[in-house]
Amino acid sequence: MKMNHIGLMVGDMSQAVEFYTKVLGLRVIMDKTKVIEERESAIGKMCIAVFGEGFEGFNIAHLVTTDGIGVELFEMKNREQKHEVNFSRIGIFHFCLQSDDFEAVIQKTEEMGGKVRMDIMRYHPEDDSKPAKMVYLEDPFGNLFELYSHSYEETYSSEYE
């Protein structure tokens, strides 16, 4: 199984594309595109199945990470923008990216309207041979994301002890 993409709801497509490209270094592979509610095309039928009747339309953009994982950004019509994290909702509550320029990403996140949700944490502060660190951040629309300094395996696997 391989990870293919994630989809995020955002409040302003232009701001979101700027944030995800300039802060997180993602590359745009399909810029802002308008999708309207209709029943003639395959995409129209799929969207009604997913969003239900009356969604009216949305803007979508497709971005990609350096390792080829897709990030779909959705800006829905007539949707109230929310900034509070709803921890009672079941489902995905964050995604995680890895960067070699850890501190710069944190700084850019704040400069571009995002938030730092916690102090930087080391997973193994007692062991200098395991320098993996992490932090939870938030994009300007309230989407949580985690930032790792090392790979998932390096952070958790006993193979790297």
Whether the CB-CB separation of 161 and 126 falls below 8 Å is answered with no
Determine which of 12-26, 69-83, 94-108, 120-134 has the lowest per-residue pLDDT on average. Answer: 69-83
Which CATH number is 1-78's, of 2.40.160.10, 3.30.720.110, 3.40.50.150, 3.40.50.720? 3.30.720.110
| Res 68: pLDDT | 93
| Res 83: pLDDT | 38
Q: What is the C-alpha separation between 5 and 36, in angstroms, rounded? A: 22
pLDDT digits (tens, 9 = 90+) for 98-127: 999 999 999 999 999 999 998 998 877 888
Give the torsion sign (CA, 46, 51, 56, 58). Answer: negative
Residue 61 has pLDDT above 60, yes or no: yes
Q: What is the C-alpha separation between 159 and 161, in angstroms, rounded? A: 6
Three-state secondary structure call for residue 49: helix
| Res 86: pLDDT | 59
Residue 15, CA atoms < 13 Å, CB-side half-sphere:
14
Residue ranges of the chain that CATH labels 3.30.720.110: 1-78
